[in-house]
Structure 1
């Protein structure tokens, strides 16, 4: 059996105007991935005038982005970053910690990097 080398899962939970968004990436993200997740996020957030979003990104199996996917990620952050209250990036690579710091430039709320998923979730719940 061949192991999974690429994949993306997304979860969106809503309570009133608050959203809890979870993303798990495996392998290298592509433009095609963003063509799938961007409309889902856009649609969910468009249902509320002033959405408040907390995000958990599981990058523990993320290897990186294709060039076009990195551009897609930036555009998504610029479009919805004002709605992000907290973004927790859970990973295991030094470049992910650096990326979390850079992401903080494009997000109105707080962005933090964690090497432990439980700690990341607890931080989001504070």
Structure 2
């Protein structure tokens, strides 16, 4: 599996670590975690840490589009921590498709990303 998820119900924060290539099956674990946290906390915050990340397969692209449409108002902030220029560009491309505030952090700035979310 290309995704690891940690739900913090106290802070309403979801930590998502991705590597390799996301598949439709990864979204079958991700979306229920998001929905549990939304149900508990209302609007949530997401820390997305990308390490050796290679994007999405076609099934995951469709799941991502459906997810973004369904939850565009449920996520307050997204901190994206990545290693490559295309991941930084991805954070800018995502902004028009969500009501969330999105900020990109370079690898090694994970602590700063956590502080920004808080």
Q: Which residue of 2 aligns with 1:24?
A: 17
Runs of at least 4 residues off by over 6 Å: none
Corresponding residue for 1:107? 98
Match of 2:72 in 1: 81
Q: 24-33 or 115-124: which moved more? A: 115-124
Matched residues in 2 for 1:52 and 1:36: separation? 19
Name stretches of at least 5 consecutive residues in structure 2 with no aligned partner. none
- Report what 1:3 is aligned to: none
Equivalent residue, structure 1, for 2:51 = 60
Match of 2:37 in 1: 44
Give the CA deviation at 1:36: 2.1
Matched positions, count: 116
How far apart are 1:69 and its partner, in Å? 0.4
1:10 aligns with 2:1: no
Q: Does 2:110 match 1:117?
A: yes
Long gaps (5+) in structure 1: 1-5
- The alpha-carbon deviation at position 118 of structure 1 amounts to 1.6
| SS at structure 2 position matched to 1:108 | coil
What is the root-mean-square deviation of aligned Cα atoms in Å?
A: 1.6
TM-score by length of 2: 0.87
Computing the radius of gyration over CA atoms, which structure comes out larger, 1 or 2? 1
Instruction: For residues 7-53 of structure 1, give each alpha carbon's deviation from its aligned partner in whole angstroms, at most 9, with x where no partner exists.
Output: 311111123xx5101100110000111122212322332345xx121
TM-score for both structures, normalised by structure 1? 0.82
How big is the shift at 1:119?
A: 1.7
